[in-house]
Structure 1
Amino acid sequence: MTKARLGEALLLLGLGEPATRVYHALLERAPAPLEVVGAAAGLTGPALAEAYGELVDAGLASPVVERGGTVAPVPPAAGLEILGRHRAAELDESRITVGGAFEAFRRQRLAGYDDHPVEVVTGAAIAPRLRQAWASARQQIRQMDSPPYLLIPDSTEDALATLARGVTQRVIYSRASLERPGQLEESIEPVIAAGEKARVLPSVPVKLVLIDDAYGLVSLSIREADVHHTMLVVQPCGLLSALVALFEQSWRDALPLHGRTALPGGLPPADRRLLWLLAGGAADEVIAREIGVSRRTLFRRIQVLMARLGATNRFQLALQAQRHGWL
């Protein structure tokens, strides 16, 4: 790691610039007397004592036992954890302060204007706004997903990163989402495997993303008119409450798309994927393509599964599969 990168990292953790210089010198000269380290960092007297004290307080350096004694860096794990927590607390406090300042401004300066609960975002501004929304989520993201899709680079990686930092994701996919070539394998299954809770409906009433209880993003997608470059940002209001209620009702009606980690009864992965697609209402040719078999082989597999579960039609097969934990 270069000195510049290390310095930037220490500054981000809240250490002052003199302390970062002393830490650089400590790594190069230690074990050595503090005065030698200070000379390498260009500091003496009270300035050196203050800078080195920052390192000791942060758990990055050994304390000075006696005048002229040697000092050295110590394993940083515990110290960095403390610094990280302090930094996170400072950022939370800053966020609250800035938010409060804006609310005060809004009440005092915008009282005479209509406070619009809905913002319209169009064109090239949509993708950055969506990525910003994903990054801002703190507790949960709720989404209704359906084509057509706006090309957003690294969208799957964004979803995986959000899951990795502990944000709950619940997504209702439309049948059209599963039927889109490559969508299931490349975009849906990786995030389900990472912990996303997914369900499927034949169709969803609206393309929707709910960020915590803070705001919602609604896509105005009209396939026939090829107008899918407009998005509404809905702030807390009656409309947002209605969108939350719509999602929760749709979630209750949808079929699970997230199977158990251990496949019950030795169910092969291809058969579980078959059941996922079948429950979502995908056409036979789509299912056959996704699991890589011919339509004739697909029919045979469906018949075997129906016999195994005692189902007389495909609807019963989907219900029985759900009851047995295969979906």
Structure 2
Amino acid sequence: METENGKLGEALRLLGIEGAAGRVYLALLELAPAPLGAIGEASGLGGAELAGAYGALVDAGLASAAGEGADVVAPVPPAAGLEILARHRAAEIEESRIAVGGAFESFRRHRLAAYNDHLVEVVTGEAVGARMRQAWASAREQIRQFESPPYFPLPETTEDSLATLARGIRQRVVYSRESLEHPGHLKEVIEPCVRAGEQARVMPSVPVKLVIIDEAYALVSLSIREADVHNTMLVVQPCGLLSALIALFEQSWSNALPFHGRTARPGGLPPADRRLLWLLAGGASDEVIARELGISRRTLFRRLQVLMARLGAANRFQMALQAQRSGWL
């Protein structure tokens, strides 16, 4: 019973009913209907202190006011009162969030005036994964990303991206050719996200591994293939560097080749052939394309010849160009 009362007391405290008022409410639940004096005796209160605590419960919609000429009191159904308390508490938390955020911004501005630091934070080791998941969850409008190997071992990355898309967050990703060639990455990561609504484009290479969360901050990976270093990340706060990274992404986005767009012109295009064109446009080698499609190189060449004839193209470059114009990419 003490454990249950302790949990209830904590719940009341979180709603703003604490101290004397909380003890009175617990006594009400055990003894009511009963005289207010008996409630006060059970809760160790009397006089003005009891009247004030009980009055707080009445104001909160958790207890009935004693009628004239009667001293008997009781708790009332809490639905309406709890709704009011919850809203009041939510408003207080929001005010606190704004106050703390404003205080930090003021601190940061004053610090910048003297030191110009904390603009770039270094995150290493296991903290990288936690910070990336926090970033995805904090997005409110859009995520912009340059994506390329090597990859930090985060098995939940695809699930986080899909959950973000499900929340209605716009997600634009520029993939490098190496992303498409990385074993299993196209089928297990890229295509599920594209089907879920991700806007994807591809370039032969991307200038840096980058994630931009809204206009708030950017995550920059310090991947160094030669040294097998992929567990260090920079968090860039609003400053000229963040603006430059945003501009770099937008410029690259405009130059990149759409990875997925309109489905096809009338008559349709088999999904396997569309996938072939995506890989080809991304610069994947014949070996990689054949592996991803699960076909032999001879079958691949035959399909390419059929597609070139269908598009009236004399070579692969013309085929990719005609495919884009036709809405097949």
Q: Which residue of 2 aligns with 1:104?
A: 106
Q: Which residue of 1 aligns with 2:216?
A: 214
Matched ranges for 1:101-180 at <5 A: 101-107=103-109, 112-180=114-182
Judge conservation of contact 1:208–1:218 (CA < 8 Å) in 2.
Answer: yes
CA, structure 1 residues 46+252, in 2 after alignment: closer, same or farther (shift >3 Å)?
same
Question: Counterpart of 1:265 in 2: which secondary structure?
Answer: coil
Match of 2:287 among 285, 289, 298: 285
Structure 1 Cα separation of the partners of residues 321 and 191 of structure 2: 21
How far has the Cα of 1:200 moved from its partner? 0.4
How far has the Cα of 1:274 moved from its partner? 0.7
Question: Counterpart of 1:326 in 2: which secondary structure?
Answer: coil
Matched ranges for 1:268-283 at <5 A: 268-283=270-285
How far has the Cα of 1:48 moved from its partner? 9.7
How far has the Cα of 1:234 moved from its partner? 1.2
Structure 2 Cα separation of the partners of residues 304 and 217 of structure 1: 43
* 1:304 corresponds to 2:306: yes
Judge conservation of contact 1:140–1:212 (CA < 8 Å) in 2.
Answer: yes
How far has the Cα of 1:47 moved from its partner? 8.8
Runs of at least 4 residues of structure 1 off by over 6 A?
45-56, 71-74
Judge conservation of contact 1:121–1:230 (CA < 8 Å) in 2.
Answer: yes
CA, structure 1 residues 16+300, in 2 after alignment: closer, same or farther (shift >3 Å)?
farther
Q: Which residue of 1 aligns with 2:254?
A: 252
Question: Counterpart of 2:225 in 1: which secondary structure?
Answer: coil
Partner AA of 2:186 in structure 1: L
How far has the Cα of 1:154 moved from its partner? 0.7
Partner AA of 1:277 in structure 2: L
Deviations 1:107-165 (A, max 9, x none): 45675434242222222221111111111111111000000000013111111111111
Partner AA of 1:307 in structure 2: A
Deviations 1:242-278 (A, max 9, x none): 1111100100010111233578522111111111111
Deviations 1:81-127 (A, max 9, x none): xx79x95x766544332210112233456754342422222222211
Partner AA of 1:103 in structure 2: E
Judge conservation of contact 2:290–2:297 (CA < 8 Å) in 1.
Answer: yes
CA, structure 1 residues 261+47, in 2 after alignment: closer, same or farther (shift >3 Å)?
farther
* 1:320 corresponds to 2:318: no
Give the superposed CA RMSD.
4.5
Question: Counterpart of 1:132 in 2: which secondary structure?
Answer: helix
Structure 2 Cα separation of the partners of residues 236 and 107 of structure 1: 11
Partner AA of 1:235 in structure 2: Q
Judge conservation of contact 2:111–2:117 (CA < 8 Å) in 1.
Answer: no
How far has the Cα of 1:214 moved from its partner? 1.0
Question: Counterpart of 2:226 in 1: which secondary structure?
Answer: coil
State the identity as a percent.
71
Unaligned 5+ runs, structure 1: 19-33, 36-44, 57-63
How far has the Cα of 1:226 moved from its partner? 1.7
Structure 1 Cα separation of the partners of residues 127 and 306 of structure 2: 50
Q: Normalising by the residue count of structure 1, what TM-score does the alignment of the two structures yield? A: 0.75
Q: Normalising by the residue count of structure 2, what TM-score does the alignment of the two structures yield? A: 0.74
Partner AA of 2:103 in structure 1: A
CA, structure 1 residues 139+72, in 2 after alignment: closer, same or farther (shift >3 Å)?
same
Structure 1 Cα separation of the partners of residues 198 and 132 of structure 2: 18
Question: Counterpart of 1:266 in 2: which secondary structure?
Answer: coil
Q: Which residue of 1 aligns with 2:188?
A: 186
* Count of aligned pairs: 308
Structure 2 Cα separation of the partners of residues 127 and 214 of structure 1: 19
